[in-house]
Amino acid sequence: MFVVKRLEENPILIPDNDHYWEEFASFNLCPIKHGKFFYGLYRAISAVDVLQNPHQTSVIGIGESKDGIHFKNRIPFIIPEEEWEKFGCEDPRVTFFEGKFYTFYTALSKYPFNAEGIKVAVAISSNLKKVDKRHLVTPFNAKAMTLFPKRINGKI
């Protein structure tokens, strides 16, 4: 039987007041090991800026770690740029597949939030330093998509 034990250093990820884009909240960490490092993609929520934007915006941050617990060098990785994600990018799920990193995430296009404005998008990166491409995956309401790390019967 497999027993899960809570890490004494919990929580692994907390908001960083020095980073406006993750000052309010940092959570939903999705770790991936590549080479000698772990990378953690996570949902970050900004502080409210009533002069520029009265809404808090979710972005996807990324940090790196040698042990998978202590994440450093945290920066915004996926920020809203497209119309279909203009109110936030949330809940990343990353897979390394055939030489590239595919990060599926929830894209928010409507505020107040409703089913019509919640879709799945994918950001593709060759190195987890920058996003090379991004695409809307579902034109309908959806969340929580991911990709298996290998082909099954030759298919994706």
3-state SS record for the chain: CCCCCCCCCCCCCCCCCCCHHHCCEEEEEEEEEECCEEEEEEEEECCCECCCECCCCEEEEEEEECCCCCCEEEEEEECCCCHHHCCEEEEEEEEEECCEEEEEEEEECCCCCCHHHEEEEEEEECCCCCCCEEEECCCCCCCCCCCCCCCECCEC
For 13-52, the pLDDT digits (tens) are 999 999 999 999 999 999 999 999 999 999 999 987 766 6
- The per-residue pLDDT of the chain, averaged, comes to 93
Span 133-139, average pLDDT: 96
**CA 59 to CA 77: how far, in whole Å?**
8
What is the mean pLDDT of the segment spanning 104-131?
96
Domains of the chain: residue spans and CATH? 20-136 (2.115.10.20)
Q: For residue 5, what pLDDT is reported?
A: 87
